[in-house]
Amino acid sequence: MQESRPPLGAGVSFKPDHYEDLSSGQVELSFIEVHAENYMGSGGRPIAMLDRLRQHYSLSLHGVGLSIGGEAPPDPQHLQRVKAICERFQPCSFSEHLAWSTHEGAYLNDLLPLPYTAQTLGRVCDHIDLIQTTLKREILLENPATYITFSESTWTEVDFIHQIAQRTGCGLLLDLNNVHVSAGNHSFLAQDYLVHFPLQKVREIHLAGHAIEQFEDEKLLIDTHDRTVSEEVWDLFETVIATVGPIATLIEWDQDIPQFSTLLADAQRANARLTHYAGTMVAP
């Protein structure tokens, strides 16, 4: 099974708005990441742009449609399309979400939460086994940003993710903005979450921005990916890489796309911290 491991350093989520900035290959980035579902066509400008960019940068594919947490197995046709794009572009990694987004054949425009129960655990593991067998590669599973919890859950999220990684052999994608958002919404400490998270299985980190909505005395954190990374999330990033060393890190920005210089500034900040900790880690 092919390993999923982006090259060490900072990368950015690619948007067509930034093609001219990246097409020369002169920008110092370790990798770029795209949503796989945006590049499933047989040709056209999107494919041509990605073909050009992968001459200069390693490519990571990030899926949003396999509905790993759904009641039904991943749609066979969609899974074959994912396999085809992996075979065509030979990405350094493929990742998906611990969430569900389909029901009775309908695709829902969201990544929805699931209860952490033994039944759900078995179903998720079966779906990951199917995906990894079909793709013949390890996938990275991303922790969710959540806005509700389920009374029937019998596992903590961290323990649930740990069990999935142990049973399936998948790697993990640690989204630190999601950790911060969920911690704020459910009143737990993000640092405690990280203490118990299986960091040794993390192959990639995501950093992104979020919005805060105020409702009288309550506030809701929303994973919007539409602004620069918050200082609280940078602090979590520092905690992780100070503990386990540098990990490939992506800056996500999916809405209200800024000038490329703004996105690059966050990537350069991440890379500076990765470089610092690369120099301080002692070889075993």
Please tell me which residue, 198 or 284, carries the higher pLDDT value. 198
Number of domains in the chain: 1
In the prediction, which pLDDT does 280 show? 60
In-domain check, residue 35: yes
Determine contact, residues 32/14, Cβ cutoff 8 Å.
Answer: yes
Joined together, the tokens standing for residue 115 give: 């209860």
Average pLDDT, stretch 276-282?
Answer: 70
In the prediction, which pLDDT does 43 show? 84
- Count CB-CB contacts under 10 A for residue 148: 8
Confidence at 281, pLDDT banded by 50, 70, 90: very low
In the prediction, which pLDDT does 210 show? 95
Residue type, position 211, single letter: A
Residue with tokens 């989204």: 175
In the prediction, which pLDDT does 110 show? 85
In the prediction, which pLDDT does 8 show? 95
In-domain check, residue 160: yes
Q: Any idea what the CATH number is for the domain that residue 264 is in? A: 3.20.20.150
Mean pLDDT (the chain, rounded): 94
CA 271 to CA 269: how far, in whole Å?
A: 5
In-domain check, residue 179: yes
In-domain check, residue 3: no
Average pLDDT, stretch 127-143?
Answer: 98
SS3 40: coil
In-domain check, residue 1: no
CA-only gyration radius of the chain, Å: 18
- Count CB-CB contacts under 10 A for residue 203: 22
With b for 16 or more beta-carbon neighbours within 10 A and e for fewer, the 231-243 pattern comes to ebbbebbebbbee
Report yes or no on whether pTM surpasses 0.85.
yes
Is the pLDDT assigned to residue 256 strictly greater than 80? yes
Poorest-pLDDT segment among 44-48, 172-176, 179-183, 230-234:
44-48
How do 93-97 and 211-215 pair as beta strands? unpaired
Determine contact, residues 167/132, Cβ cutoff 8 Å.
Answer: no
In-domain check, residue 2: no
In the prediction, which pLDDT does 282 show? 40
Q: Whole domain around residue 238: which residue ranges?
A: 10-280
Residue type, position 1, single letter: M
Residue with tokens 């493929």: 94
In-domain check, residue 4: no
Average pLDDT, stretch 17-42?
Answer: 94
Average pLDDT, stretch 107-128?
Answer: 94
pLDDT tens, position by position, 52-98: 999 999 999 999 999 999 999 999 999 999 999 999 999 999 999 99
In-domain check, residue 257: yes
Closest to 181 (Cα-Cα) out of 130, 126, 154, 142 = 142
Closest to 67 (Cα-Cα) out of 57, 59, 77 = 77
CA 69 to CA 74: how far, in whole Å?
A: 9
Confidence at 284, pLDDT banded by 50, 70, 90: very low
Q: Vertex 16, ends 11 and 18: CA angle to 5°?
A: 55
CA 223 to CA 208: how far, in whole Å?
A: 8
